[in-house]
Amino acid sequence: MKARKLLRTIPMKLYALLLIVVLFSFFSNDFGLVDIQKTAIILAAGIDKSEEGFMLTAQIAVPKGTDRSQGGTSSVDVTTTGVTVSDCVSSIFGETGWVPKLVFCDLIVLGEEAASEDVIGYLNYFLRSEYMNDSCKLAVCEGKAEALIASKSALADVSSIAILNLFSDAAAKSGKVLAKTLKDFAVDYYGVSKSSYLPYIRMMEQRGSSQTGNGGSGSSDAGGEEGEIRPEVVYSAETTALFADGKMAAVLPPDETFAYSLLKGNVESGIFTAQDGEKPVTLSVLSNSGSIALDMKGAPKVKLKIGVIARLCCRGTTAPMEDVSNDNVPEAVLENAEELLKENTRKLWQTAKESGCDLFELKKALYRSSPKKYDEWKEFLLDKAEPEIVTDVRSSK
């Protein structure tokens, strides 16, 4: 009786067992095992133009040993050249014996010279690879990407970690940085507008500090010389590179970058400085709304609207206690702030127009509303459209 009962339950047990085998096989992910002695875990990639075609600088995470006192992250930078980016990636294996792994690559930086060409040629490899994380941040830098990746950050062990801090959500909410992912840049490039933007990274030497390159924690250059002095640097991405047809066409200064963030309605905790008469007053943005509307009735008109609710954050002069305890923004400062934002937005419009970058996605808006009008206007829309800028800065009560 018991044997018969057991036999009856065997199919169900076998069924469950087979299902477990299948799930185990599918989802084991090779048990997540990565032999770090044989694998180059690439944290960031810098791409430059070279005589051969492409130059790739990969920042590779390396095991740091067991000394707990050191802590942090360690990396080594490997630079390879090739006729394609894929060629450069495979050269990493040829030169180091490490198999390159791009799954953890969170940052791609393009050198300035590379950005002057159609950059999608530099990004082709990353867009094709199923094993690449296309939500990684993309940026362009002043000078060579190799120098940026190999630089010694004053703030973090590894330069890419310090740079990625610039693109955090908090940085985006400040309105000072316009971050972009590889996927979003590709969507813009292959879209109707064929225009996009990327943060433009500059590095500045940290005053009064310098350190030898290959000592202790932090990154080291595989080809660098022992004892070479590398200054510690900090990074800034408050400027923004505009792209038209994949080529870098202009660089927005910080004021215009901030104005664009306000237009997109992205700012929640940013600050900007207006004038109270001759004296500077810093306002803190509590909430922000922005809109871009294209009106094709008659001649094309673009309404750029920025709404800000702000509080007084700081005066550049001495003030009585009654003033310190009051967050309300005086009427004169509000008017000045509105003028300031209007002026910055006007300059932003002009920069975008002169560079041929459809930063305000006017072509996209027109294509979606009327493909017929889009065909009619696509060549002239940016030149002919007239901006109407409306700024509304209010004080928090």
Partner 1 sequence: MNKVSVRQLYFFLACIAPVGKLVVMPVRLSAKAGNDLWIPTLLLYLLQAAAVFCVLLLGKRRKSLYELLCERIGSVCAKIVHLLIVCFLLFCALIPLLEQKLFVQAVFYDTLPSIVAFAPFFLFSAYLCSKPLGSEGRAFDLLAPISVVGLVGVLLLSVSNADYGAVLPLFASGAKGIFGAVAGACSWFFDPVLLLLFLGKFEYGKGTAYKGALFYLAGGAAVIFFLITFYGIFEGTAINQLFAFTKTSKYYSAITVLGRVDYLFIFALSLVMTFYTALPLHCAVESCLQAFGRKKYLPTILSVGFNLIFLIFDGLLDYHFGDVLGVVGKLFWIFPLFTLLLPPLLLPSRRSHEGA
Which residues contact partner 1 (rule: CB under 8 A)? 11, 14-15, 18-19, 21-30, 34, 99, 101, 103, 127-128, 130-131, 135, 169, 181, 183, 186-187, 190-191, 367-371
Beta strands 386-395 and 301-315 are: parallel
At which residue do the structure tokens 């190799």 appear? 146
- Residue 26 C-beta: closest distance to partner 1, Å: 5
Nearest to partner 1 of 375, 383 (CB atom): 375
Instruction: For residue 235, give the 3-state DSSP assignment.
Output: strand
Helix axes 120-128, 85-96, angle to 10 degrees: 70
User: Which CB, 40 or 341, lies closer to partner 1?
Assistant: 40
Minimum CB–partner distance for residue 324 and partner 1 (Å): 36
Q: To the nearest whole angstrom, how small is the minimum distance from the Cβ of residue 68 to partner 1?
A: 25
Residues 6 or more apart whose Cβ sits within 8 Å of residue 349: 304, 360, 387, 389
CA-closest candidate to residue 123, choices 109, 142, 102: 109
The CA distance from 172 to 42, in Å, is 25
Which H or E run contains 138? strand 137-141
Which one, 193 or 220, has the nearer CB to partner 1? 193
Provide the edge-to-edge strand list for the sheet that holds 301-315: 271-276, 279-295, 301-315, 386-395
- At 206, which helix (H) or strand (E)? strand 195-212
Please state the closest distance from residue 134 (CB atom) to partner 1, in A.
9
Question: CA nearest 260: which of 303, 236, 290, 295?
Answer: 290
Cβ nearer to partner 1, comparing 73 with 129:
129
Query: What are the residues facing 301 on neighbouring strands?
Result: 295, 386
Residue 9 CB, shortest distance to partner 1, in Å, is 14
- Taken in order 16, 17, 20, 26, the sign of the CA dihedral is negative
- Indicate the residue among 91 and 193 with the shorter CB distance to partner 1: 193
CB of 84 to partner 1, least distance (A): 18
d(CA 128, CA 131): 9
In terms of CB distance, is 67 or 130 closer to partner 1? 130
Total residue length of the chain: 397
Q: Residue 169 or residue 225: which is nearer to partner 1 going by CB?
A: 169
Could you give the 3-state DSSP secondary structure of residue 296?
coil
Query: At its nearest, how many Å lie between partner 1 and the CB of residue 147?
Result: 27
Smaller CB separation from partner 1, 368 or 384: 368
As a whole number of angstroms, the distance between CA 61 and CA 348 comes to: 39
Residue 163 or residue 308: which is nearer to partner 1 going by CB?
163
Question: What span, in angstroms and rounded, lies between the C-alpha atoms of 147 and 158?
Answer: 13
CA dist 245 and 36 (Å) reads: 40
Rounded to a whole number of angstroms, the minimum distance from the CB of residue 397 to partner 1 is: 31
**3-class secondary structure, 320:** coil
Q: How far is the CB of 135 from partner 1 (least distance, A)?
A: 5
Cβ proximity of 60 and 43 under 8 Å: yes
Q: Which is nearer to partner 1, 63 or 208 (CB)?
A: 63
CB of 186 to partner 1, least distance (A): 5
